[in-house]
Amino acid sequence: MPARNHKQWSAKPDLELGEWVDSRIYSDEEIFEEELDKLWKKSWIALCHESELPEPYDFRTGIIAREPVIMVRGPDNKVRAFLNVCPHRGMTIERRPSGSFAPAQPSGNPKHMTCLFHAWQFDMKGNCVDIPRQKEGYQDRLDKSSQGLRALRCEVKYGGFVWVCLDDHTEFNVETWAAGAMDCIKDSLDAEPLELIHYHKAIIDCNYKLWHDTNSEFYHDYMHYHNRITGFNDDYFQRECSAYDNGHVNVGTFTVNYEEYDVAEDRGTLSFPNLPPDNWYMVDMFPGLNFNLRGSVVRMDLMTPLSANQVMIEFRGFGLKSDSPEDRAHRIQHHNSIWGPLGRNLHEDLIGVAGQGTTMTPKSEPRRILHGRHEGAYIHDEIGMRHFYESWGKKMDRLPSDPEQKYKAGKVMGPEMPPAKGLSTFAGKGA
């Protein structure tokens, strides 16, 4: 078929409803605002890891749906989360990304969170414990006990991740929210304490869902030299993609041949507990978290949507807390050879989504984005995206293929297809 004129270009694809989405779901500012309320404020988000606040009085800050959050470890060792907002006049209480409240603050006492503006102080349970010149200004009209911080639901779960939910009334705890999607990696994550070994962040001019999508589809592995040369074998093409309630998806494992990559080494001896050597699972948690257990290291991506066309992605890497210095150095090398700045994977994905972001800016002409590959739920099937957008449509009450229409059950996932016959015979390893 020749190149298309505008009418042909704008026509609906020859696929079934549900096998594509309208690009406005990635670029429309009104839809973006609605997503913050209907998705991000209702979901459990793993904002950090307990190893980032290891001691009593340590804290870590983060953001969910524009709301600033602070997570603190109390003297009882319990991690709690609060809005990082002073009840007095709305100042951010703590502006550092992490630190400790054990020492005295510039205008407050040790072991207290102190707002820099007028020095109201709070303990690690969020109680307001001091209001300067309280009697003089408020007489008996304002009681400290009514001026505590806004407490948020918080759970430490699945290998020590600190999960926070802005919705007090959510029907879910973290486990029921995950709906089984984390089960494939939970025994590896929970076997012994983990520790943060890598952190960096990227701010990319694209919609956050494009990062979700690239994590959930593997058809783009042709872009990744490392993945092709270490992984394109029959077992790879048999990795299964499985869908779970609430929009989550995971991807089954296979054995990666790391030694095929020039500067890589076998990861078998350092593979995580309860994981066969050099195996690799992925879990995509709705709406913007990804867990990637690749042999000896875990990567966790946390997306923070900044606007319809901008996302901050924080990349964390984890090893075992019990690592010897030598093992730790190997894990960091394993992490960086794929996911570091000079690695052969992560920045390639970033180039992919940044390219999509340039074609889907607010008010750019709507176009259709195809999610219609069916390969028996094996690795190059796009069930991960179709399942995500089924949940998205239901929670947003919009049809992803035409977001001006209301959601209709059965119109998002596309038709059920018979399993693909045979496996891909791609033989271009290293091509």
Contact residues toward ligand FES (CB under 6 A) are 86, 88-89, 91, 115, 117-118, 120
Choose among Fe ion, ligand FES, none what residue 91 binds, the Cβ cut-off being 5 to 8 Å by kind: ligand FES
Q: How many residues bind Fe ion (CB under 5 A)?
A: 1
Closer residue to Fe ion in complex, CB, 58/301 = 301
Minimum distance from CB of 133 to ligand FES (Å)?
12
Minimum distance from CB of 369 to Fe ion (Å)?
17
Given the rule CB under 5 A, which of 130-138, 156-164, 346-354, 407-415 is the region that contacts Fe ion? 346-354
- Alpha-carbon distance of 370 to 15, in angstroms, equals 9
The string over 189-199, giving b where at least 16 C-beta atoms fall within 10 Å of a residue's C-beta and e elsewhere, is bbeeebbbbbe
Minimum distance from CB of 214 to Fe ion (Å)?
6
Minimum distance from CB of 79 to ligand FES (Å)?
23
Under a CB-based contact definition with an 8 Å cutoff, are residues 108 and 86 in contact?
no
Choose among Fe ion, ligand FES, none what residue 153 binds, the Cβ cut-off being 5 to 8 Å by kind: none
Closer residue to ligand FES in complex, CB, 41/88 = 88
Choose among ligand FES, Fe ion, none what residue 89 binds, the Cβ cut-off being 5 to 8 Å by kind: ligand FES
Closer residue to Fe ion in complex, CB, 172/225 = 225
Minimum distance from CB of 285 to Fe ion (Å)?
17
Choose among ligand FES, Fe ion, none what residue 88 binds, the Cβ cut-off being 5 to 8 Å by kind: ligand FES
Minimum distance from CB of 118 to ligand FES (Å)?
3
Minimum distance from CB of 352 to Fe ion (Å)?
7
Encoded amino acid at 263, one letter: V
Closer residue to ligand FES in complex, CB, 92/233 = 92
Q: State how far Cα 230 lies from the chain centre.
A: 25
Q: State how far Cα 199 lies from the chain centre.
A: 14
Nearest residue to Fe ion, by Cβ distance, number only: 349
Any bridge partners for residue 161, and if so which? 49, 157
Q: Which two tokens stand for residue 136?
A: 């003089």
Choose among Fe ion, ligand FES, none what residue 382 binds, the Cβ cut-off being 5 to 8 Å by kind: none
Per-position x/- string for 349-378, each x denoting binding to Fe ion as judged by CB under 5 A, each - no binding:
x-----------------------------
With both helix axes pointing from N to C terminus, report the angle between 208-216 and 383-396 in degrees, rounded to the nearest 10: 140
- Alpha-carbon distance of 368 to 359, in angstroms, equals 12
Among residues 280, 188, 274, 181, the alpha carbon closest in space to that of 236 is found at: 280
Q: Which two tokens stand for residue 202?
A: 């990227």
Closer residue to ligand FES in complex, CB, 151/351 = 151
Choose among Fe ion, ligand FES, none what residue 115 binds, the Cβ cut-off being 5 to 8 Å by kind: ligand FES
Minimum distance from CB of 114 to ligand FES (Å)?
8
Which backbone phi and psi does 380 adopt, to 5 degrees? -95, 10
Minimum distance from CB of 106 to ligand FES (Å)?
13
* Burial status of residue 275 (CB atoms within 10 A of its CB: 0-12, 13-18, 19 or more): buried
Closer residue to Fe ion in complex, CB, 78/201 = 201
Q: How far is CA 261 from CA 13, 133, 256, 337, in A?
A: 39, 66, 10, 10
Closer residue to Fe ion in complex, CB, 290/304 = 290
Q: Which two tokens stand for residue 193?
A: 């304490």
Closer residue to ligand FES in complex, CB, 114/304 = 114
Closer residue to ligand FES in complex, CB, 89/200 = 89
Q: Which two tokens stand for residue 407?
A: 């959601």
Under a CB-based contact definition with an 8 Å cutoff, are residues 79 and 73 in contact?
yes
Q: What does 171-224 look like in DSSP terms, one character per residue? A: S--HHHHHTTTTHHHHHHHHSS-EEEEEEEEEEESS-HHHHHHHHH--GGGGG-
- Residues that bind Fe ion in the complex, under the rule CB under 5 A: 349
